[in-house]
Structures are given as structure tokens and as C-alpha cells.
Amino acid sequence: MANKHHTQTRTEPRRHSKESRNDVQDLLKRFAFVPLLLLTALLARYLLSPTPTTLTETVIPAPVLPNMAHQYSLPKLPYAYNALEPHISEQIMTLHHSKHHQTYVTNLNNALSSYTSALSTGNVPAQISLQQAIKFNGGGHINHSLFWANLCPASSPDATLAAAPKLGDAIKRTWGGEAQFKEAFETALLGIQGSGWGWLVKVENHTGERGRLAIVTTKDQDPVVGKGEVPVLGVDMWEHAYYLQYQNGKAAYVKNIWNIINWRTAEKRYLGGQDESWSVLKASM
Amino acid sequence: MSSKLLRSTPLRAAVRSTQSQSSRAGLAGTTFVRTKATLPDLSYDYGALEPAISGKIMELHHSKHHQTYVNSLNDASEKMEAAKSSNDVASQIALQPLINFHGGGHLNHTLFWENLTPKNQGGGEPPTGALSTAINDSYGSLDALKEKFNTALAGIQGSGWAWLVQDTQTGSVSIKTYANQDPVVGQFRPILGIDAWEHAYYLQYQNRKAEYFKAVWDVVNWKAAEKRFK
């Protein structure tokens, strides 16, 4: 830990050293923030860096200090707002994409730009207070970007598990069959208390080879990052994702969503690594 | 989806009286009786909070969402009793999040219905007396409290509630937010709660939740809040 502190202080830009006070207490306070700063640096590097990094690396490099944060933009849907009907209504898709997702993008850009200035002025308290906004809005942007791409019209040939031969085999091996997998996934989705997401993930093993599958849930907009998991398929369980059409009948939403899963996208994510999952995010920069 | 905006009060009353009779009969017949949670009746009609909250929202929120918390709480409580009687500690612990979530949902909604009232029955009329003084002490004015409360509501990331709470140690009031259905228990006493789950406003306000937070003050029952304040 002492080494990390040392490294960290050396990587601090000198820009603010003129203002820095030699007061020991002040320095101690500053040092106390360092572990959190390292976490923030990891997430910020991830979101700010033009090349997404793999999250399995154990060495945390010095934070990149770009002059300007990247501006993310709302990704276009690969289908029309009404293309998922009758399973998800046009009104839901319109609001969900053009309002909710747009708000996450706007707030992420604002948070990253504040974070960039907090980095350049060495304002550690501001950096820390921005972490949650980056996680929430960055998560919202990541999750929705993944979600749109893992849906498709029910009439599409991609909307059956046959479009994901390798993933389909792994699902059948893991859960005993497609029906058993869907049942387990539905149970996980319906067990979320409050807002959140259900994910089919590929857990990368230590050799970096294709790992096992698992179902995980994340709360609010927490993204699937930092645990060596690749999101293969996500389902939004926020009420805004279904309420105008299904109201309190979320079990029906969860049943119907299987009709519009884009299994070809899921197969690509399963066969690819982290980079494949994040390609949609890169495209929105 | 058809919607009945007005409840049939006589029918509900009949259902309730049947329920209470059967639980009294149960009391006489067994040595151990656990009272079941029941859905409380509203003291106003589903449409009575319009235009702040639509009748359709109130109907679903009360008769479906709250009812589900009640049913699931009873279900979890029954399992908890079974786990206790068989000394199954692992199951007792595994059931705790369900009791917190569904029990919290039942408590929160019960308090929420009470701290709302139609405009023509005093909704939105400012608090008086000791609560008013405590609000002014902490926030300067009722308007300042509302502004901070709305900021707290807007800042909830996901589902949850904002509450005006009273610190049982110091007696002072403050605004606190709670995730999901976490109830106000322990050091703090609930005075006034606003539901920030999307189901509380989405049919009427969709993504414009700030408008709901602004409008809801027109139907806040400060008299109910005063009664909770000690």
C-alpha cells in the first residue's frame, strides 16, 4: 500500500503544486483518499480512454489526464421504435431510448467533463464526489447500449437460440436445456428488489479462455464491469422498461422478452472478449 | 386494460370484516396466532388526488402493488415461522431480505396513503405547531424544505423513497432517502414519505418525474405528519 501511495503522489501533476500547502494534516487527508482515487482512476481511464482496457489487469497504470473528456452520444437503434411490438410497445421504446437513455448520456458527459477539470486542478474531493454520478450514468449508458443491441424484432432469424449455436450448447450444458435456463433467468429477473438488470454473463477464467456462464443481477444502473465478467445478454428490469404496457404484470414482460432476444448478438459477445461487448460503447463516442 | 377508478367500498368493507372475523376465530382455536398483514383501506377515492396523482395510478398502486407486498410479507412471515419452529437458522437468515423488502413495502405504502389527502380535505395545507417549528429550525421555511426534499427525490438512483424523519435522539427533523423498500426504522421516526418508485408516477408523468415531485405537495397531508411528530 505504501508503494502505491508513493507511486500515486509521483503521478500527480505538478500543475497544482504552487497552491499546495505543506501542512502535514492536509497531506495526510490527501493520502487517505488515494485508495478511492485509484478506483476512480480505473473507471475514469476506462471511460475516458479511447481504447477500452481489459478489466482483468491487476496493475493499475497512472491515470491518463486528457485535456478533454470524450463526449458520448446516444447510439441509434438498429430497428424502428415499433419494431419490437407487440412485446415492447412503440411508446415504451420511444421514451426509453430518446428520453431515459439520452438523460444518462447527457449526465455522463457532464460528470466526465467535471471529472476532467477536477483531475486537472488536482481537486481530489471533487473527484471522489463525482464517482457515483459516473458509475450511475456511465452504467446507464453502457447497460442501455448493450440492451438495444441484444434485442431484435420477433420476425428476425436472429430471434431464436439457433442463431447462437456455441452459446446455445453452453447454455444447455450449464442449465440442462433452453427451458431450464429461461426459467432460471426469469426467476432471477423477478427476484430483483427495486430497479436493476438481469444478465447472462461469461465468467472469464484465469487463462483468459472462454469461461463458464452465469446469471447475475445488478442493482440500479451498476454495470457488469470489474469482475472479469463479459455481459452476453441483459434485460432491463427498471419499471420504465415495461410499466406503460405491463403495469404491475412484470412476469408477462419477462416471458415476452424471449421473443425479441437477438441471439446472434449474444453469440458474438460470448465468442468475443470484453472488447466485443464494449464495441457498441466505443461506437457511441 | 379496463380500469375502475372508484372502489366499491361496501364490498371492500365486507371483505375486511370477514377477514377480521376469521382471525378472531383463529385466536380462540389455537395457542399461537400470528396476525396476518392486510391491505389498509384508503380514506379517499382513487380519483380524489387528481390532478396531482391520477386515479389509474392510485388504483394500481394500492390494489396491486401494495397488495403484492402484503401477500409476499405474509408468505415470507409464514416461512419464517416454520424456519423458527424447526430451528433452521440458515433459512431464517435467508428470509430476512424478503421480510425487509416486503415488510418495508407494506409499512412505507401504509404511511404514504395516510400522509396524502385530497386538496379539498386539507391536502397541501402547511403544517402548524411543533412540526412547523422543527421544520423552520432545520430548513428555515417550508418552501426551503420542499426544495431540498425535491432535490433529494430527484437524486435517488433507482427505486426508493425520500422521508422527512425525526431523529429520536435529538428530536430534530431531516430529509433522508432510502433505497428500494427499506423502511424508516431504528434511530429515525418517519414523519412524511414520498414514493419515488417509477410505478408511483410513470403512467402520468413518464420520464418527467420532477413534475410529479412538484405536484405531490398539493396533496400532502401535513395533519397526518403532525401526528407522527413527537
Q: Name the amino acid, one letter, at A202.
A: K
To the question of whether residue B61 is assigned a binding role by annotation, the answer is: yes
Residues of B with CB below 8 A from A143's CB? none
* A58 has a pLDDT exceeding 70: no
Residues of B with CB below 8 A from A99's CB? 206-207
Work out the percent of chain B whose per-residue pLDDT is above 90.
85
CA distance A221 to chain B (A): 8
CATH code given to domain A157-283:
3.55.40.20
Domains assigned to chain B:
52-230 (3.55.40.20)
Work out the percent of chain A whose per-residue pLDDT is above 90.
66
- Average pLDDT (B57-79) is 98
- Average pLDDT (A38-59) is 44
Cell of B211: 413534475
- Average pLDDT (A37-43) is 47
Quick one: pLDDT at residue A48?
A: 55
To the question of whether residue B195 is assigned a binding role by annotation, the answer is: yes
Quick one: pLDDT at residue A246?
A: 98
- Average pLDDT (A38-60) is 44
Q: Residues B168-216: pLDDT tens digits?
A: 999 999 999 999 999 999 999 999 999 999 999 999 999 999 999 999 9
Q: Residues A1-22: pLDDT tens digits?
A: 333 333 333 333 333 433 444 4
Mutate to test the interface with A, among B1, B159, B161, B211 (most CBs of A within 10 A): B159
Q: Residues A136-173: pLDDT tens digits?
A: 999 999 999 999 999 999 999 999 999 999 999 999 99
Question: What is the rounded average pLDDT for all residues in chain B?
Answer: 90
Residue A75 neighbours by CB distance under 10 Å: 19
Closest CA to A272 of A222, A223, A224, A208: A208
**A69 pLDDT band (50/70/90 cuts)?**
low
Q: Residues B106-130: pLDDT tens digits?
A: 999 999 999 999 999 999 999 999 9
Q: How far is it, in rounded angstroms, from Cα B121 to Cα B49?
A: 10
Quick check: B110 contacting A, CB < 8 Å?
Answer: no
- Average pLDDT (B38-53) is 98
To the question of whether residue B199 is assigned a binding role by annotation, the answer is: yes
Cell of A104: 444518462
**A222 pLDDT band (50/70/90 cuts)?**
very high
Q: How far is CA B113 from the centre of its chain?
A: 6
**A200 pLDDT band (50/70/90 cuts)?**
very high
* A89 has a pLDDT exceeding 80: yes
Q: How far is it, in rounded angstroms, from Cα A264 to Cα A160?
A: 9
To the question of whether residue B66 is assigned a binding role by annotation, the answer is: no
**B5 pLDDT band (50/70/90 cuts)?**
very low
CA distance A42 to chain B (A): 22
Q: Is the CA virtual torsion B70, B72, B74, B77 positive or negative?
A: negative
Quick one: pLDDT at residue A47?
A: 54
* A275 has a pLDDT exceeding 90: no
Note whether B162 and B197 are within 8 A (CB). Answer: no
CA distance A238 to chain B (A): 8
Residue B26 neighbours by CB distance under 10 Å: 13
A96: exposed, middle or buried (C-beta count within 10 Å: 0-12, 13-18, 19+)? buried
